[in-house]
Structure 1
């Protein structure tokens, strides 16, 4: 029972007690007063009338007229004149029931029994008779009943007024309790938030204690996250440039080549510093390090300036002199390659007076059906051609433009808009299983029906991104999934991959939220976004979580691994699960102890705040037992067989 209800019950109980006490005292006092006054009136009127009759002639008619006149002028219930033998001479009785509106139970509860007025009438020296006067008590009952009703109404008004004031005061005093309850619920949900300390002493002590608990747990999570992040960074990055090291870069490349979507077109660029040993001798160790850092920075800046051309990117340092870039889901590699050639040429010229700096570069595209060995052979041959130019030059694969289905932006825009209007955006489902090989949910991969052919995401998503149509594509896919009978009946749960553009375009985001609200099956959706996109746009993600979490949706990270250092911030929004990047899972399969230690620590940290951790890119379902030993809760990938 709420405090407000308890307050009302207490006030009502107290007012009832006070009412009955006051009623008893006031009513008994009034009753005594009325009885006293009626008794005096009866006695005075009886003596006065008896004296008048005693002094007049005792003719029966005159006596009766005098009694009748007295009866009519006063409020009497009965006037009775008896002879000395007790026989009635004159009797006047008020026969109308004027007390009908006063409840009988009230008259029985508060009986007014005034004493009758009795006087003797003389006729000379003889007794003429006895006069008995009884006043009408209806006015006393009516007055007492009216007073009682007014008393009751005032008490009801006072009770309501006190209840309203008490409710307002209670709500004002307990307003900090809402924050306390939210904080307690958050801690129960393993979200360790802090609240502002209220002024009320008791609440202040409680909130302070809970804030201390949250702060300690948060500090523990941050320290553990920081430790894991440092472990991950050391095992995955080149210490000088901060780019991915060869092992991690190759592992990421392998995970892309093994992706379920074999038609996605990706790009790779290779940059080499010719004769690094001579450069090092000429410039010196310290300045050569600055040169390497500058090249890494130039590559990163160039790639980021063209981020609308691709989905994700990875920069790596393969060895002392070779830098590489992977761009996923890119349709046209030439703009990035040409821009990089310009930047690198300018950078090489800045060292022209100190050293002959040559930076040959190569660029090619690849798909998931290509082997790593063939890819490296292809780009190495292009790099050899670039080296033969004897200066900073970019050699681009000649067939790089010949693989698109549609060639220009207008054709793609028309195709995508037609598909959106005709329901051509559909989903292909891939299973995600728990560690016991039971279906957790199905992951929806976007497909596009064009002229009777289903295009994979790699064919059209680069153009959808370039044409700013990703939010509309996400909405169309969500509508398609929510319309599936198995989802509506609760037989199937589906993970929907969203783009960060959908969250950043507030109108499209609100349309998606409204769609989820009206669908009736929002609790069957697992909404996920790439980790890198979330960490770069954290506020948009937090706002989105606050909108969809109350609807029952589960929210998670996809391709996670590099952002565990910020997981303590993410847990505040009620994150439900994390899908660990396939490159880490492949490292575990190759018995990479550093990656295994990192994933094991991430599982421990994730479980401590209620997260499920799911492995991506599983190649063999038989590896589930090993994943369970590490602490993972599920898996998805080519090794998980598709179910009917």
Structure 2
């Protein structure tokens, strides 16, 4: 039983006790008053009637006529005349009660009324004794009417008191509701803070819970800063602040193996040919300052695009990874202009050659073939001299004009949505004991008898702005599979699911229609999109979790400084990006990074899974670091 219910019962019981006591006292007072008044009336009437009969000479006939006439008025229950010896001379008695009061009321409140008595004389001799009793039905009628009116007044006052008490109780318990909401939020791993109420007891509780939330958020922020420092020290060039060669190539490899919107894009490579001569001419300190400008310029480009990455591969080579960019010339110009303007702005020479190479990568390419294409293209650019861009691709179809490719894919996707040509594949996420946690469910497109992977068509879905329609299709496919007995499914959402205001109402309505399936559904959003649209991501999480859906963030690790912002979202799990997992058994720096990341996740009750695990060695070290599960080519379900 809730505290609110108990308080209501206590208030009602108290009001009933008070009103019942008041009602009883009022009833007894009214009863006593009526008894006293009727007894006095009986005495007065008996005396007056006896005096009148005495003055008339006490004739027997006249006595009987007078007493009968008096009885016939209907106001008396009993009129009798007794002889001096006690014999009944005249008796009139009404045995019928015509009272409106119910019998239970008459029995509950009996009126104890004294009869009126007076002596009738004839001269000096006593004729007899007159006994008179007024009819009690009038008293019971009056008492019953008074009781009804009093009860009605008490009921009205009780209702008014309950109404006022309810408002007061609501005001008093409002802080308690806030405390309950905060406690439930903490239970859902949302460490929120609420204003402290004025009520002392509630204030102490809220203050303690706010301190808890504040400490957890502070720990998250501190750990996020530590993680960022680990990452900077291990994976970034100290001069430019850009990624080093090894972590950058791992990011490229992860993109090549991914099965989402980032599986297609471009990679650009820019070389500063005279860097060694510039160091000798201007000094290392000056050129380090120029390189810092180059790093800042490339980071500005990266900051405007999710999952883009820039790297200093070696002393003079700079690379730009641009997922979802299908125009290699355009992205190469961005990198070339950023580096060229940084050099020109410092006035360290106007004839500095910046040969540039660019290629398109696609799902299934390998690092070796990609680097080979870039090296060949860079060699051609160096042969041409100056600041030229050489573009190389795997097939000529990739160089078709973007407009033409867009039109082709628009027709393909329109047909696919109309014919419902989408389906799901399933890849397991396994726990520490090899148990299935859930199946990742990337979407597939059936086109000309071939099932296209998500990495092939998702970039075009994104460019054609039909991501929301695909998200709805994906969720419906997942719910249908779950309704047919599938194991738990994790579906990947696009940014459209967060930014489009109509998606959340649709999602809640759809989940409400399949409550059992909803409890086995997981929804994920990429790290970059979650942090970029954090304020819109929160209501999506809360709305989905209200139907039992688990919420997670995938590709975690690129924005570690933002982890402190996750304290009040209520996530269920994080998935570490494959670029940090690759060769983790041989990478001490990333081991420290992931161990701390797992500790941070567990401190707020969030499970941590690893993406892209390729072999048993990686999985073994991940378990030692604290990972709760993993997915990837190296993970297989038992049997």
Do they superpose with TM above 0.5? yes
Structure 2 spans left out of the alignment, 5+ residues: none
Residue 216 (structure 2) pairs with residue 217 (structure 1): yes
d(CA) in 2 for partners of 1:115 and 1:18?
33
Q: Cα gap change, 1:345/1:536 in structure 2, threshold over 3 Å: closer, same or farther? A: same
Q: Out of 598, 612, 620, which is 1:625 matched to? A: 620
Residue 168 (structure 2) pairs with residue 169 (structure 1): yes
TM-score of the superposed pair, with normalisation by structure 2:
0.92
Could you tell me whether the CA contact under 8 Å between 2:262 and 2:459 is conserved in 1?
no
Q: Secondary structure at the match of 1:483?
A: helix
Partner residue in 1 for 2:177:
178
Partner residue in 2 for 1:280:
279
Could you tell me whether the CA contact under 8 Å between 1:426 and 1:446 is conserved in 2?
yes
Q: Out of 413, 423, 429, which is 2:426 matched to? A: 429
> Cα deviations across residues 462-489 of structure 1 (Å, max 9, x unaligned)?
21111111121111111111122xx125
Q: Cα gap change, 1:640/1:46 in structure 2, threshold over 3 Å: closer, same or farther? A: same
d(CA) in 2 for partners of 1:543 and 1:146?
60
Instruction: State the shift of 1:232 in Å.
Output: 1.3
Q: Secondary structure at the match of 1:268?
A: strand
Aligned residue runs from structure 1 range 382-397, under 5 A: 382-397=377-392
Partner residue in 1 for 2:206:
207
Question: Larger deviation: 292-301 or 494-503?
Answer: 292-301
Partner residue in 2 for 1:609:
604
d(CA) in 2 for partners of 1:585 and 1:269?
24
> Cα deviations across residues 160-198 of structure 1 (Å, max 9, x unaligned)?
222222221222123222222222333344433222122
Could you tell me whether the CA contact under 8 Å between 2:357 and 2:374 is conserved in 1?
yes
> Cα deviations across residues 327-367 of structure 1 (Å, max 9, x unaligned)?
33444423323454556566666577735311101112334
Residue 158 (structure 2) pairs with residue 159 (structure 1): yes
Instruction: State the shift of 1:616 in Å.
Output: 0.8
Could you tell me whether the CA contact under 8 Å between 2:435 and 2:637 is conserved in 1?
no
Q: Cα gap change, 1:339/1:211 in structure 2, threshold over 3 Å: closer, same or farther? A: closer
d(CA) in 2 for partners of 1:39 and 1:294?
113
Q: Cα gap change, 1:114/1:303 in structure 2, threshold over 3 Å: closer, same or farther? A: closer
d(CA) in 2 for partners of 1:418 and 1:83?
120
Question: How many equivalent residue pairs?
Answer: 636
d(CA) in 1 for partners of 2:332 and 2:218?
44
d(CA) in 2 for partners of 1:260 and 1:42?
106
Q: Secondary structure at the match of 2:266?
A: strand
Could you tell me whether the CA contact under 8 Å between 1:545 and 1:555 is conserved in 2?
yes
Q: Cα gap change, 1:301/1:479 in structure 2, threshold over 3 Å: closer, same or farther? A: same
Residue 490 (structure 2) pairs with residue 495 (structure 1): yes
> Cα deviations across residues 49-76 of structure 1 (Å, max 9, x unaligned)?
2233333365544332211222234610
d(CA) in 1 for partners of 2:185 and 2:587?
37
Q: Cα gap change, 1:161/1:126 in structure 2, threshold over 3 Å: closer, same or farther? A: same
Partner residue in 1 for 2:629:
634
Q: Secondary structure at the match of 1:196?
A: coil
d(CA) in 1 for partners of 2:490 and 2:63?
109
Instruction: State the shift of 1:400 in Å.
Output: 5.0
Q: Out of 553, 556, 561, which is 1:557 matched to? A: 553
Aligned residue runs from structure 1 range 480-629, under 5 A: 480-484=477-481, 487-488=482-483, 491-520=486-515, 521-589=517-585, 591-621=586-616, 623-629=618-624
d(CA) in 2 for partners of 1:240 and 1:514?
52
Instruction: State the shift of 1:126 in Å.
Output: 4.3
d(CA) in 1 for partners of 2:287 and 2:98?
118
Q: Cα gap change, 1:386/1:115 in structure 2, threshold over 3 Å: closer, same or farther? A: same
Q: Secondary structure at the match of 2:273?
A: coil
Could you tell me whether the CA contact under 8 Å between 2:82 and 2:89 is conserved in 1?
yes
Q: Out of 441, 452, 455, which is 2:452 matched to? A: 455
Q: Cα gap change, 1:426/1:330 in structure 2, threshold over 3 Å: closer, same or farther? A: farther
Partner residue in 2 for 1:97:
97
Q: Cα gap change, 1:18/1:275 in structure 2, threshold over 3 Å: closer, same or farther? A: closer
Residue 221 (structure 2) pairs with residue 226 (structure 1): no
Partner residue in 1 for 2:62:
62
Q: Out of 374, 378, 399, which is 1:379 matched to? A: 374
Residue 440 (structure 2) pairs with residue 443 (structure 1): yes
Could you tell me whether the CA contact under 8 Å between 1:98 and 1:138 is conserved in 2?
yes
Q: Secondary structure at the match of 1:121?
A: strand
Structure 1 spans left out of the alignment, 5+ residues: none
Partner residue in 1 for 2:309:
314
Could you tell me whether the CA contact under 8 Å between 2:270 and 2:336 is conserved in 1?
no
Q: Cα gap change, 1:90/1:172 in structure 2, threshold over 3 Å: closer, same or farther? A: same
Instruction: State the shift of 1:642 in Å.
Output: 6.9
d(CA) in 2 for partners of 1:503 and 1:339?
29
Could you tell me whether the CA contact under 8 Å between 1:39 and 1:117 is conserved in 2?
yes
Q: Secondary structure at the match of 2:311?
A: strand
